Amino acid sequence: MSLSTAPIVAATLRPGNWAFRLALLLALAGVAVLAGAVAALLAFGIGIWGNNIPHVWGFDLIAYAWWIGIANAASLFAAVLVLRRHGLRTAVNRFAEAVALAAVLAAALYPILHLGRPWLFAWTIPYPATTRLWPQFGSPLVWDFWGIMAHVVVTSLFWFIGLIPDLATLRDRAATEGRLALARAYGIFALGWRGSVRHWHRHQAAYRLVAALVLPLLLSAQTVVALEFATTLVPAWHQAWLPVQVVVTGLPSGLGVVLAMAAVLRLALSLQRFIDDADMDLLARLLACAALAAGAAYAHALLTGLVLEDAETRAALAARIVGAGAPAHWGAVLLAVLLPQLLWRRGLRRRAAVVIPVGLLAAAGVWLDRWSLVVDGLLRERLPFPAVPYAPSPAEWALLGGSAALFAAALLLFGRAIPVVAIFEIRHEETLAEAAEEER
């Protein structure tokens, strides 16, 4: 059997069909909503949101932690595939990386936009200012700046380095077709790739090095987000285990989105042969596994939080888990832990009609978990401060929907401009297969 890479390249180079155009149009309309929400935010300030004292954070931090979680799980998945030289990487690691990058971009909006005076965000960056004032390095928000910056840089590098050989292929195909301007554009980003053995050697070394860099990043970015909460005196947040909890419960969202994306791409771009049933199978089982891990994290929180902690913390966590915060918490457990368990059944995980909703609902479940942390974590404060419950405003919904549209638009454009699965990896598999045949 021989796999041709032609359809992948064709999918990239040919003009999009009506479905693609419609999807892109919808996504761009969503991006316009985002632009409107951002403009309104800058003009009128955070007063247009539903925040108050004590709920100084709401949708902003929920969405931030959620997008970071998606990015993390997606890059974790891609990096593990690269490092283990796993067969699955041929099919899915490229768009796992793309999902990670788009999610990081969506996440990176929030640390800036959630500020009361976003135009001064640069003050969190250490630079020799004329004020001779440096950021406060003890603040988790400064760590967060490093966390998100490192995430953006490493995720982009990981994605870009993996892309270089394919960009060269596209350059060559475009040149063959006589589209010289396009060939030049691809050529710039291909960095003069000629496919020599030395190129391949260095590429592999660099790719694996960056993949190894991704791993600590996953812990760091989510951990820093979690530390923004864990270092405060709020009883439901002030927990040493919160970073682990946030990292682990973030996994189902990223894997769920990657799984759903894979299923959609298979259908939309007729790539069933490149992302085959075995790939989908593996991915689905990974999601089910991550959901189990998240379940373990929740069980741990129940045990330590409700049994072992001091009375103040127990009361706060009880309010979050079984009190007024129960809907969000148990909604998260249902969607992000229990629902993915369906995927242990082979029949179900092969069906797009099952994996797409399960993957997306797992992501929604993790969003509920972040709500439970950010909003319901404040149900019980140290003092019975007369708090008004947090209620998100339309402007916040617009920002959330808009950032999802930005994510979708980035993925759609990515699907048009560059190969959705790694051509060189498939070629590599072809070569391996040929070699095996020859040996036989």
Partner 1 sequence: MLSDSAGRRDLLLMGASLALAAAGCDGPDEHGHPLPARARGQAAEAASFATVLDLEGLGRGVLARTRAGHAVKLEGNPQHPASLGATDLFAEAAVLSLYDPERSRRIRHAGAPCPAAELDAALAAVRPALLASQGRGLRLLTGPVASPTLARLIAELLAACPEARWHQHDPLADDAALAGALAAFGEPVAVLPDLARAQAVLCLGADPLGPGPAQARQARDWSRGRRAGRAAGRLPRLFVAEASPSLTGARADRRIPLHPAEAEEFARAVAAALGLPGLARGGTHPEAAGIAAALREAGPAGLVLAGRGQPPAVHALAQAINQALGAPGTALRLTAPPLARPEPMAASLAALTAAMAAGAVTHLLVLGANPVAEAPAALGFAAALRRVEFTLHAGPWLDETAERCRWHVPLPHPLEAWGDSRAFCGTPAIRQPVTRPLAEAARGEAELLGALLGTPLPAREAVAATWRAAWGEAGFEARWEAALEAGIAGDPAPAIAPALRPDWDRPGETGPAPAGLVAHFAPDPGLGTEARNAWLQEMPRPLTGLAWGNAALLDPLTAATLGLAPGDEAELTLDGRTVLAACWPLPGQAPGCVTLPLGGDRQAGGAVGSGRGFDANRLRSADGAWMAPGLRVRATGRRAALVSTGAPHRPDTGGAVPRLRPGETLPPVAPGASLHPAWAYEGRAWAMAIDLDACIGCNACALACQAENNVPVVGPEELARGRGMHWLRVDRYDAPAPEPAAASFQPVPCMHCEQAPCEPVCPVNATVHDQEGLNVMVHARCVGTRTCSNNCPYKVRRFNWNDHRPALDTPRRNPEVPLRPRGVMEKCTYCSHRITAARTQAGLEGRALRDGEVETACQRACPTQAITFGDLNAPGSAVAALRQDGRGYALLGHLGTRPRTTYLAPVVPAAPA
For residue 239, the minimal CB distance to partner 1 (Å) is 15
Nearer to partner 1 by C-beta: 381 or 429? 381
Nearer to partner 1 by C-beta: 125 or 338? 125
Q: How far is CA 333 from the centre of its chain?
A: 20
Nearer to partner 1 by C-beta: 193 or 390? 390
Nearer to partner 1 by C-beta: 117 or 184? 117
Nearer to partner 1 by C-beta: 15 or 138? 138
Angle formed at CA 176 by CA 172 and CA 179, multiple of 5 degrees: 90
Nearer to partner 1 by C-beta: 128 or 386? 386
Amino acid identity for residue 252 in this structure = P
For residue 56, the minimal CB distance to partner 1 (Å) is 4
Number of C-beta neighbours around residue 366 at 10 A: 28
Nearer to partner 1 by C-beta: 132 or 440? 132
**Whether the Cβ atoms of residue 228 and residue 141 lie closer than 8 Å to each other:** yes
Helices 59-83 and 242-269, packing angle to 10 deg? 70
For residue 227, the minimal CB distance to partner 1 (Å) is 10
Q: Which long-range contacts (CB under 8 A, 24 or more apart) does 294-303 make?
A: 294/248, 294/249, 294/251, 294/252, 294/336, 294/337, 295/333, 295/337, 295/338, 296/248, 297/244, 297/245, 297/248, 297/249, 298/249, 298/333, 298/337, 300/241, 300/245, 301/241, 301/245
Applying CB under 8 A, which residues contact partner 1? Answer: 44-48, 50-57, 114-118, 120-121, 123-124, 133-136, 138-142, 145, 228, 231-234, 381-388, 393, 395
Q: How far is CA 78 from the centre of its chain?
A: 11
For residue 314, the minimal CB distance to partner 1 (Å) is 13
Q: What secondary structure does DSSP assign to 140-157, as a single string?
A: HHHHHHHHHHHHHHHHHH
Burial of 244 (0-12, 13-18, 19+ CB in 10 A): middle
For residue 53, the minimal CB distance to partner 1 (Å) is 6
Number of C-beta neighbours around residue 281 at 10 A: 16
**Which ranges of 323-393 would DSSP assign to H, the alpha helix?**
326-332, 346-349, 352-374
**Whether the Cβ atoms of residue 223 and residue 243 lie closer than 8 Å to each other:** yes
Cα–Cα distance, 338 to 317 (Å, whole number): 21
How many helices (H) does the chain have, and how many strands (E)? 15, 0
For residue 47, the minimal CB distance to partner 1 (Å) is 4
**Whether the Cβ atoms of residue 58 and residue 374 lie closer than 8 Å to each other:** yes
Nearer to partner 1 by C-beta: 7 or 140? 140
Amino acid identity for residue 328 in this structure = A
Nearer to partner 1 by C-beta: 62 or 100? 62
For residue 46, the minimal CB distance to partner 1 (Å) is 6
For residue 234, the minimal CB distance to partner 1 (Å) is 7
Of 240, 224, 284, 244, the residue nearest 260 (C-alpha) = 284
For residue 374, the minimal CB distance to partner 1 (Å) is 10
Nearer to partner 1 by C-beta: 172 or 381? 381
**Which ranges of 114-241 would DSSP assign to H, the alpha helix?**
140-176, 180-190, 197-230
